Amino acid sequence: MIIEIKHLKKVYAGRTVVQIEHLEVKAGETIGLVGNNGAGKTTLFRMLLDLIRPDAGEIQSKGIPVAGADQWKDYTASYLDEGFLIDYLTPEEYFVFIGSLRQMSPAHVADYLKRYEEFFNDEILNRGKYIRDFSKGNQNKIGIAAAIMQNPELLILDEPFANLDPTTQIRLKNLIKNLKKEQNLATLISSHDLNHVTDVSDRIILMEKGQIIKDLYKDENTLKDLEAYFSE
Ligand SMILES: Nc1ncnc2c1ncn2[C@@H]1O[C@H](COP(=O)(O)OP(=O)(O)OP(=O)(O)O)[C@@H](O)[C@H]1O
């Protein structure tokens, strides 16, 4: 098991926005997190990454609480939003910087980036511009690629399909599926795109008002069931 959540609670202005009694994530699982706006998905991810602290309970990564610890950072990578990027760098400089945190040489990074040629669709590398000047969709591509490049055991992506064009959405799904096959990566993906998230996930967690109200392994009815649930 890579993640264990126990009695987790986050309160903002007197309102409980996340309340999860117990949740386990196993190595190699691809989990889709779905739920309407404000369900608590991003807040949960921020607690998983120790960006905010719970008001009660804890999250353990490989048995060690993430809050205040560093071990989980060696095998966890994420992209939640543009705040993860460095606006005044070019994508190449950013990838080299992120790679250096993982002891990757610039040559190793350049070699690695070749794998993303299709995903980048010729829009990211050698453009001679800073990250701040890229479109939001292309900024997302940079952040997602930088997260995957870290070769994590646990990857956390917040709405990765948002702002991507349809071609890139499909390429991202293939990338995620291949990573799972090749390196037994555990992935947590929040998404409002029921179709894509169901397609890539083995397991779907449905949140509503901070709570997990469904947690199921995908079968042939899952997409239909989710569509029915959200159309009520
Ligand atoms: N820093 C904050 N201060 C006050 N309230 C917050 C803060 N961050 C989140 N919230 C509230 O917590 C609730 C959960 O928000 P969160 O962003 O986690 O939902 P979400 O499921 O990611 O939504 P979306 O699908 O819209 O991205 C919302 O009601 C939100 O307004």
| Cβ neighbours for 198, distance < 8 A, ≥ 6 positions apart | 32, 204, 218, 222, 223, 226
With beta carbons less than 8 A apart as the criterion, state whether 84 and 42 touch: no
Is 12 a pocket residue for ligand 1 (Cβ < 6 Å)?
A: yes
The pLDDT score that the predictor gives to residue 36 is: 96
How close is the Cα of 102 to the center of ligand 1, in Å? 31
Q: Taking 90 as the threshold, does the pLDDT of residue 183 lie above it?
A: no
Element holding 212 (H helix, E strand): strand 211-217
How close is the Cα of 127 to the center of ligand 1, in Å? 35
- What is the side-by-side strand order in the sheet with 15-25? 15-25, 3-12, 56-61, 64-65
How close is the Cα of 37 to the center of ligand 1, in Å? 8
pLDDT tens column, 147-170:
999 999 999 999 999 999 999 999
Element holding 107 (H helix, E strand): helix 106-113
**Atom 4 in ligand 1: residue holding the nearest Cα:** 12
- Portions of the chain given CATH number 3.40.50.300: 1-75+155-232
Pocket perturbation via mutation, ligand 1, pick of 37, 44, 53, 158 by most ligand atoms within 8 A of CB: 37
pLDDT tens column, 77-130:
999 999 999 999 999 999 999 999 999 999 999 999 998 989 999 999 999 999
**What would be the CATH architecture of the domain defined by 1-75+155-232?**
3-Layer(aba) Sandwich (3.40)
Is 88 a pocket residue for ligand 1 (Cβ < 6 Å)?
A: no
SS3 60: strand
Stated pTM of the model: 0.97
The pLDDT score that the predictor gives to residue 232 is: 83
